């Protein structure tokens, strides 16, 4: 593939700062020594500090400028380039050449891990970021290639030649290869990840690289399938994981992995109209963020955590608006926060305001992509918003089916029985339309809910209704009547009190526990 010699991300690196050279040398040494605390300190502390100090507006030195410092070690150079391109994406607008070279580097890196004898140790945070960045760059390229309006004819021709770069099938194949080669599915099926959790992902005497990349690729598959609108397949890819089992590995390892897993799971459930499961996912992850967000206040990812938190509250608002019964399943602090953020809007959603559902969806949804490349010869055929508009249309179709039901429900609550003609008159509609609306209301009262199996798409239908009704014939007049049977669900005080008792006991245990000595953070070496 031919590119022009000049590229805007290239710079003259005749002189690399000495402190940067020291960082590279020490990182290489610690990786060879399998010294996880030092690697983690250099990755999470030193690298961001050096980036902010020396490379705030541009890229790190290219790999050729530092390769002699590390004996031209092939694997280390691939790891360095992974950090190089990640920083490039964060600080600049990458060119097509940079996007292609980053793809080639990921292919080489994952190829070495899959087919070589890799016995090194890397921090789990780096391995998660590797998968996360791999998918972010895939998503970024899919969006980049759809923005044809501002591209020259030469750029479009180059894009045509890049049909194998960031191809969705190749991306999914890489994730699946990591999962298969790691054996993580069999391991999770055997003990639920108990051994990994007991050692925080670092089993003594074994490399954690392939195993943890396979684990994180399970979450990566969910993300990719949700981005293209294949929600059932995304949930099925979570087969070994149990989202609602306490003490799972993803809750112990990394907040980023945990939040990504539950965000995309809950969104998939929303699009599959499984609102109780979506509410359960959102309640779990919002409670988790409520507990841990202050621990990440100085973390570089803190702003991203807060943004995802707001997105998920927007999703929870539309879930509650479509299925009010979900409110009774939420933790008290989550429900209070939801009402603080969306109190008045929730009431309008209950009355069927489609505009607010659209607004919440637009804010809470991921950045969708199209699996296939655009029609390069016809740039106006589809724009960069095509994928979003398609998913938005599907969602609003769901909302449109239930947006007129709140008014019907309000009239039904006024009567113990009412004839069809009278109810149709109150709603200013005909009896045929009314029968359709009653059928929709009846259907909306039942929701498919996960039944505890390993398949997150399986479940059984449960009632979420606050009223129930049926149509009967009045024997005296022969008229059809809508008969109401109250089935109002109330939140039992015993359940509320028991939750508070458990929380109070946990607080007392924490207060009575002896203070834990906090170890001084490892000093970064560079």
**Of the given ranges (184-193, 238-247, 404-413, 451-460), which has the lowest mean pLDDT?**
451-460
Taking the CA of residue 18 as centre, how many other CA atoms within 13 Å lie in the half-sphere pointing to its CB?
0
**Tokens at 491, concatenated:** 């939140």
Q: Is the pLDDT of residue 82 over 90?
A: yes
Q: Spell out a b/e string for 449-471, using b for 16 or more CB atoms within 10 Å of the CB, else e.
A: bbeeeeebbebeeeebbbeebee
Q: Is the pLDDT of residue 4 over 50?
A: no
> Taking phi first (over 0 means left), then psi (-120 to 50 degrees means alpha), and beta for anything else, what does residue 351 get?
alpha
> Taking phi first (over 0 means left), then psi (-120 to 50 degrees means alpha), and beta for anything else, what does residue 149 get?
alpha
Q: In the block, which residue shows the tokens 């040398």?
A: 25
**Residue 1: its pLDDT value, please?**
44
Taking the CA of residue 137 as centre, how many other CA atoms within 13 Å lie in the half-sphere pointing to its CB?
30
Q: Is the pLDDT of residue 526 over 50?
A: no
Domains of the chain: 400-508 (1.10.10)
Taking the CA of residue 220 as centre, how many other CA atoms within 13 Å lie in the half-sphere pointing to its CB?
29
Closest CA to 48 of 91, 1, 78: 91
Q: What is the pLDDT of residues 225-255, one digit of tens each?
A: 999 999 999 999 988 887 776 555 555 557 8
Q: What is the pLDDT of residues 15-53, one digit of tens each?
A: 789 999 999 999 999 999 999 999 999 999 999 999 999
Local confidence band at 468 (pLDDT 50, 70, 90 cut-offs): confident
Local confidence band at 382 (pLDDT 50, 70, 90 cut-offs): low
Cβ proximity of 412 and 484 under 8 Å: yes
Task: Provide CB contacts within 8 A for 18, sequence distance 6+.
Answer: none
Cβ proximity of 130 and 112 under 8 Å: no
**Tokens at 286, concatenated:** 């919002």
Average pLDDT, the chain: 84
Closest CA to 446 of 233, 274, 216, 266: 274
Local confidence band at 162 (pLDDT 50, 70, 90 cut-offs): confident
Q: Is the pLDDT of residue 69 over 90?
A: yes
Question: Collapsing DSSP states into helix, strand and coil, what is residue 427?
Answer: coil
**Of the given ranges (34-48, 168-182, 359-373, 482-496), which has the lowest mean pLDDT?**
482-496
Cβ proximity of 484 and 465 under 8 Å: no
Q: Contacts from 98-101 at CB under 8 Å and sequence distance 24+?
A: 98/7, 98/9, 99/137, 99/140, 99/141, 99/144, 99/165, 99/166, 100/1, 100/162, 100/165
Task: Provide CB contacts within 8 A for 32, sequence distance 6+.
Answer: 120
State the first-to-last Cα distance of the chain, in angstroms, to the nearest integer.
Answer: 38
Rounded to 10°, the helix 405-412/431-444 angle is 90
Sign (positive/negative) of CA torsion 8, 14, 19, 21?
Answer: positive
Burial of 498 (0-12, 13-18, 19+ CB in 10 A): exposed
**Residue 176: its pLDDT value, please?**
96
Report how far residue 220's alpha carbon sits from residue 197's, in angstroms, rounded to the nearest whole number.
Answer: 20
Local confidence band at 487 (pLDDT 50, 70, 90 cut-offs): low
**Residue 491: its pLDDT value, please?**
46
**Residue 195: its pLDDT value, please?**
83
CA 228 from centroid of its chain's CA atoms: 13
Sign (positive/negative) of CA torsion 509, 510, 512, 517?
Answer: positive
Local confidence band at 379 (pLDDT 50, 70, 90 cut-offs): low
Local confidence band at 474 (pLDDT 50, 70, 90 cut-offs): confident
Tell me the mean pLDDT in the region 412-431: 84
> Taking phi first (over 0 means left), then psi (-120 to 50 degrees means alpha), and beta for anything else, what does residue 439 get?
alpha
Taking the CA of residue 395 as centre, how many other CA atoms within 13 Å lie in the half-sphere pointing to its CB?
29
**Residue 521: its pLDDT value, please?**
43
Report how far residue 42's alpha carbon sits from residue 147's, in angstroms, rounded to the nearest whole number.
Answer: 37
Which one has a higher pLDDT value, 191 or 130? 130
Report how far residue 357's alpha carbon sits from residue 346's, in angstroms, rounded to the nearest whole number.
Answer: 10
Q: What is the pLDDT of residues 269-328, one digit of tens each?
A: 999 989 999 999 999 999 989 888 777 767 767 888 889 999 999 999 999 988 888 888
**Residue 372: its pLDDT value, please?**
85
Q: Contacts from 111-120 at CB under 8 Å and sequence distance 24+?
A: 112/74, 112/75, 112/78, 113/178, 113/209, 113/210, 113/213, 114/177, 114/178, 114/181, 114/210, 116/75, 118/75, 118/207, 118/209, 118/210, 119/207, 120/31, 120/32, 120/34, 120/75, 120/207, 120/209
CA 449 from centroid of its chain's CA atoms: 20
Tell me the mean pLDDT in the region 428-437: 84
Which one has a higher pLDDT value, 55 or 482? 55
**Phi, psi at residue 411, to the nearest 5°?**
-70, -40
């Amino acid at each position: 593939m031919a590119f022009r010699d000049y590229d805007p991300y290239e710079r003259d690196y005749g002189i690399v700062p000495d402190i940067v050279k020291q960082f590279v040398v020490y990182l290489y040494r610690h990786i060879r020594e399998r010294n996880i605390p030092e690697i983690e300190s250099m990755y999470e502390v030193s690298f961001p500090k050096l980036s902010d100090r020396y490379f705030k507006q541009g890229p790190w030195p290219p790999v050729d400028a530092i390769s002699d410092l590390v004996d031209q070690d092939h694997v280390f150079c691939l790891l360095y380039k992974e950090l190089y391109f990640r920083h490039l994406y964060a600080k600049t607008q990458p060119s097509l050449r940079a996007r292609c070279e980053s793809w080639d580097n990921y292919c080489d890196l994952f190829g070495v891990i899959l087919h070589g004898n890799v016995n090194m140790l890397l921090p789990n945070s780096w391995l998660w970021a590797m998968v996360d960045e791999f998918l972010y760059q895939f998503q970024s390229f899919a969006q980049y290639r759809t923005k044809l309006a501002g591209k020259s004819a030469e750029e479009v021709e180059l894009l045509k030649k890049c049909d194998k770069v960031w191809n969705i099938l190749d991306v999914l194949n890489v994730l699946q290869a990591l999962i298969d080669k790691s054996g993580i599915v069999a391991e999770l099926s055997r003990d639920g990840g108990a051994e990994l959790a007991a050692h925080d992902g670092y089993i003594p005497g074994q490399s954690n690289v392939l195993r943890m990349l396979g684990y994180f690729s399970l979450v990566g598959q969910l993300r990719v399938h949700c981005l293209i609108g294949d929600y059932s397949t995304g949930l099925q890819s979570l087969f070994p994981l149990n989202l609602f089992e306490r003490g799972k590995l993803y809750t112990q390892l990394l907040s980023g992995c945990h939040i990504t897993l539950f965000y995309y799971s809950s969104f998939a459930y929303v699009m599959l109209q499984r609102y109780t499961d979506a509410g359960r996912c959102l309640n779990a992850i919002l409670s988790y963020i409520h507990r841990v967000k202050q621990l990440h206040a100085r973390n570089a990812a803190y702003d991203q955590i807060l943004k995802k938190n707001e997105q998920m509250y927007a999703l929870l608002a539309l879930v509650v608006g479509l299925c009010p019964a979900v409110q009774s399943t939420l933790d008290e602090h989550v429900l209070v926060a939801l009402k603080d953020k969306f109190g008045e809007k929730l009431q309008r959603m209950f009355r069927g305001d489609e505009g607010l559902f659209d607004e919440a969806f637009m804010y809470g949804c991921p950045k969708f992509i199209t699996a296939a490349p655009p029609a390069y010869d016809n740039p106006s055929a589809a724009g960069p918003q095509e994928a979003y508009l398609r998913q938005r249309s599907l969602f609003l179709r769901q909302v449109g089916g239930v947006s007129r039901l709140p008014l019907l429900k309000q009239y039904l609550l006024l009567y113990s029985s009412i004839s069809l003609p009278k109810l149709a008159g109150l709603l200013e509609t005909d009896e045929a339309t009314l029968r359709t609306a009653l059928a929709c209301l009846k259907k909306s009262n039942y929701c498919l809910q996960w039944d505890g199996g390993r398949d997150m798409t399986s479940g059984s239908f449960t009632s979420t209704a606050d009223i129930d009704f049926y149509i009967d014939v009045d024997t005296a007049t022969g008229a059809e009547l809508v008969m109401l049977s109250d089935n109002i669900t109330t939140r039992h005080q015993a359940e509320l009190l028991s939750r508070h008792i458990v929380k109070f006991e946990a607080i007392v245990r924490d207060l009575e526990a002896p203070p834990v000595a906090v170890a001084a953070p490892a000093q970064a070496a560079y």
